[in-house]
Amino acid sequence: MEQQTTNYYVPAQSHWPIVGAVGLLFIAIGAGMTVQQMTSEATSGSWLLTIGIVIILYMMFGWFNDVIKESDAGLYSAQMDRSFRQGMSWFIFSEVMFFAAFFGALFYVRMIAIPWLGGASNNEMTGQVLWPNFEAIWPLVTTPAGDTTQAMGWQGLPLYNTVILLISSITLHFAHVGLEQNKRKQLTAFLTITVVLGVVFLFLQAEEYVHAYREMGLTLSAGVYGNTFFLLTGFHGLHVTIGTLMLFVMLIRVIKGHFSPERHFAFQATSWYWHFVDVVWLGLFFFVYVI
Amino acid sequence: MSTLSTAQEHDEHHDHKPKGMMRWILTTNHKDIGSMYLIFSFAMFLIGGAMAMVIRAELYQPGLQIVEPNFFNQMTTVHGLIMVFGAVMPAFTGLANWLIPMMIGAPDMALPRMNNWSFWILPMAFAILLSSLFMEGGGPNFGWTFYAPLSTTYAPDSTALFVFSVHIMGISSILGAINVVVTIINMRAPGMTYMKMPLFVWTWLITAFLLIAVMPVLAATVTMVLTDKYFATSFFSAAGGGDPVLFQHIFWFFGHPEVYIMILPSFGIISAIVPAFSRKKLFGYSSMVYATASIALLSFIVWAHHMFTTGMPVAAELFFMYCTMLISVPTGVKVFNWVATMWRGSMTFETPMLFAIAFIVLFTIGGFSGLMLAITPADFQYHDTYFVVAHFHYVLVTGAIFSIMAAAYYWLPKWTGYMYDEKLGKLHFWASLISVNVLFFPMHFLGLAGMPRRVPDYALQFADFNQLVSLGGFAFGVSQLIFLVVVIKCARGGEKAPAKPWEGAEGLEWDMPSPAPYHSHTTPPEVK
């Protein structure tokens, strides 16, 4: 169906970038106004935000559609394929650094900020004068100001979720092997299982959040333990959501007969992304829940 | 030459550019996108410069006369943000877009559509940032470093817009940087090995790596500011178990590599211009590459030298002091190599070379004052004074901006096909050189005498020097309009530029005709 060229394909003009830029404009203004309007009745911000998200989805749909068409028309060389792969790898590296910053904040708070508030190092007087009753422990269930919460254990839901994500990485690998060996049934079956596992993970994560908010008093504003817990697991959950959507799109494309053993960059990229999300979870499970 | 010119005619035959506005909005061409970046950056330079004029007008004499203190704070904040993210970084990205594909023998950037997206996000981000100045409660007023709790507890209501505009700026930078890295790694012409790449390409490869590594950290920082201000988290509040110093750690983990993001491409530019006008090869090419890489690696372990007065343990202060001083070694290698390149060269002093030499001297002054600031006990005295302001303006204005000016003069003939007005160029140089030193040099003394930065009013004994500084500032501001005239004149016509207007210039870009054809190397050139 496709012949490969050796020339590097430079696309002609495209309107997707400007559509994307306008989409981001709406998202940035909309998100900013939504946050500002949280205490009021106004909803203009959330409308702008929704419009922005719709524009971005439209852009992704159209842009990827163009890329798939060009690829099927045989316009892409092996060099082009390398560009895509390297681009995705560097993007994942930037995501790693994003999570690294939050992990850094967690480690700093646990190893330095809280012990110092309790009077460690040369901060004896800080402890005595400001909050004499403060106890430097982790998880920080009582803040210096006196707010209390409960710590989330690692057994139960978090452990199930760990197992689910680990299995999903393995099933995705089997799907990939199926694709490379042109065993389409194996591919479809394992990819479907992976998508289902992703959805189950998200469902359990939502359960956990409801439990934390309703029964444990563990909220986003419950001191720095709650802050790090929700921002780390929350951003991870957001990435799982995006990853699951990507996998779902891949599943639809697989069912429609896309991809060949030699050419399946989109599948490969999604798979890298999913394994990355899995590794982040392992870090989370150990440093946020277990230790 | 003759084989080349037939190739050129062949190229020009295919040169049908789309017409009108839509050419620029929908373009995937690295030269169009490069031009847009450069024009955008100059527009931002003028807007940020206008804010600096407001600051210097207020500081012309002690007392409050022109603006309210809160507005003054917004001016210092937005001046910094615009110059860093809107002027210097886009200017370098514009140069990268224009030059890297030509220098490595590639047809275009690796991901041309994404390239256009990276650019068009920027005007959107700055539209949001600038419009927040007109909102109720005012725009960002917490300094470009937005330290907590100034950016959380005490920040204006528009902070959410600041946060999201920084977010999309970050997306733009990361996408742009990914494009540069992939282009350099994957798109080099056959024979263009890593150690044959021009230093501008090398420095940009390393810069792009730094961008991909630290822009996400900035995104995380602003996210925590957002949740602290609007969602009652306490990352930066001790009452909830957090720490305001945590903000500074995370911010400067981004911020220090960011400093090198704004200077490494300059090193590449100077390493192209100095050999060209000395008519000699660059002295110590490989040591230049290794020095750039060492500076980049060290930049990740020196961040807390911005925080010596926050009460860190002595061991940490010593570690960060020594690591910081270590950076002067690879930087010294660079300065030595530039000087050694000029040594016994057959030198001429066209405008690009004048700016390059001024860069070497004045950047070195900025480097030395940086070395002074690196010494922990001395920094206790200098911290947050005008000495710091003098230091970073020497490295950023007479460093980064001068190198950008040098680059613009050096490559303008290649871009427009015409020679720029050398007389006006020299006028621009001398006017800038004199005024910039009147502007920033006395700031060293103000700082040593104890004048704090970011104040709209000051003690009487600082009046004389401040007046001098302001006069230098106005003169420097006006001088930049000469540059605008030179560029417009050059774009509209003048003496036809040959393919290689500089006798000593080296690199694939000079093998192309001037102006460079719309599409760069459609078939890769052979590099020996």
ipTM for the predicted complex comes to 0.95
Cβ-based contacts of B123 with chain A (< 8 Å): 21
To the query of whether residue B453 is one of the catalytic residues in this protein, the response is yes
Domains contained in chain A, number: 2
Of A12, A38, A221, the CB nearest to B28: A12
Angle made by CA atoms B246, B247, B252, in degrees to the nearest 5: 105
Q: Given a cut of 50, is residue B112 above it in pLDDT?
A: yes
pTM above 0.80, yes or no: yes
Final residue in a domain of this structure, among A36, A52, A76: A76
Asked whether residue A160 falls in the same domain as residue A19, the answer is: no
pLDDT of residue B448: 96
Q: How many CB pairs under 8 A join A and B?
A: 215
Final residue in a domain of this structure, among A48, A76, A104: A76
Domains of chain B, by residue range, sit at: 30-511
B185 touches chain A (CB under 8 A): yes
- pLDDT (mean) for B96-125: 96
β-sheet bridge partners, residue B452: B385
CA distance A46 to chain B (A): 14
pLDDT of residue B488: 97
B186 CB neighbour count, 10 Å cutoff: 19
To the query of whether residue B444 is one of the catalytic residues in this protein, the response is no
To the query of whether residue B258 is one of the catalytic residues in this protein, the response is yes
Dihedral angle sign, alpha carbons of residues B334, B338, B339, B343? positive
Residues 273-302 on B with a CB inside 8 Å of A are none
Q: At residue A277, what is the residue type?
A: V
Asked whether residue A30 falls in the same domain as residue A103, the answer is: no
To the query of whether residue B79 is one of the catalytic residues in this protein, the response is yes
To the query of whether residue B108 is one of the catalytic residues in this protein, the response is yes
Asked whether residue A175 falls in the same domain as residue A280, the answer is: yes
Q: Given a cut of 60, is residue B1 above it in pLDDT?
A: no
- Tens digits of per-residue pLDDT, B54-68? 999 999 999 999 999
| Percent residues over pLDDT 90 in chain B | 93
CA distance B33 to chain A (A): 12
Q: Say which residue the tokens 């699951």 belong to.
A: A244
**Active-site residue, from B32, B58, B108, B228:** B108
CATH number at residue A37: 1.10.287.70
- Tens digits of per-residue pLDDT, B322-377? 999 999 999 999 999 999 999 999 999 999 999 999 999 999 999 999 999 999 99
CB contact under 8 A, A31 and B164: yes
CB contact under 8 A, B128 and A25: yes
A196 burial (CB, 10 Å; 0-12 / 13-18 / 19+) is middle
pLDDT-based confidence at B122, cuts 50/70/90?
Answer: very high
Final residue in a domain of this structure, among A50, A76, A102: A76
Is residue B30 within 8 Å of residue B519, measured between CB atoms?
no
pLDDT of residue A5: 62
Asked whether residue A162 falls in the same domain as residue A226, the answer is: yes
Q: What is the mean pLDDT of chain A?
A: 93
- Tens digits of per-residue pLDDT, B215-260? 999 999 999 999 999 999 999 999 999 999 999 999 999 999 999 9
- Tens digits of per-residue pLDDT, B469-484? 999 999 999 999 999 9
Is residue B377 within 8 Å of residue B323, measured between CB atoms?
no
Q: Given a cut of 80, is residue B14 above it in pLDDT?
A: no
- pLDDT (mean) for A90-97: 97
Closest CA to B165 of B124, B106, B216, B223: B124
Cβ-based contacts of A231 with chain B (< 8 Å): 223-224, 227, 233
pLDDT of residue A291: 85
Three-state DSSP class for residue A79: helix
pLDDT-based confidence at B4, cuts 50/70/90?
Answer: very low
DSSP state of A111: I
Asked whether residue A38 falls in the same domain as residue A92, the answer is: no
Asked whether residue A70 falls in the same domain as residue A119, the answer is: no
Q: Given a cut of 80, is residue A9 above it in pLDDT?
A: yes
Report whether CATH 1.20.210.10 matches the domain B30-511.
Answer: yes
Most A CBs within 10 Å, among B124, B183, B254, to test the A interface: B124
Closest-CA residue of A relative to B232 is: A221
A256 CB neighbour count, 10 Å cutoff: 8
Q: Given a cut of 70, is residue B304 above it in pLDDT?
A: yes
Q: Given a cut of 60, is residue A4 above it in pLDDT?
A: no
Largest CA distance in chain A: 76
- Please provide the DSSP assignment of B177-226 as one string: HHHHHHHHHH-PPTT--GGGS-HHHHHHHHHHHHHHHHHHHHHHHHHHHH
CA distance B275 to chain A (A): 33
pLDDT of residue B16: 65
Asked whether residue A167 falls in the same domain as residue A98, the answer is: yes
- Please provide the DSSP assignment of A252-265 as one string: HHHHTT---SS--H
**Helices B199-230 and B159-186: angle between axes, nearest 10 degrees:** 150
Range of the domain at A18: 1-76
Asked whether residue A259 falls in the same domain as residue A193, the answer is: yes
The phi and psi torsions of B312 (rounded to 5 degrees) equal -75, 160
Asked whether residue A173 falls in the same domain as residue A214, the answer is: yes
Closest-CA residue of A relative to B521 is: A8
- Tens digits of per-residue pLDDT, A237-257? 999 999 999 999 999 999 999
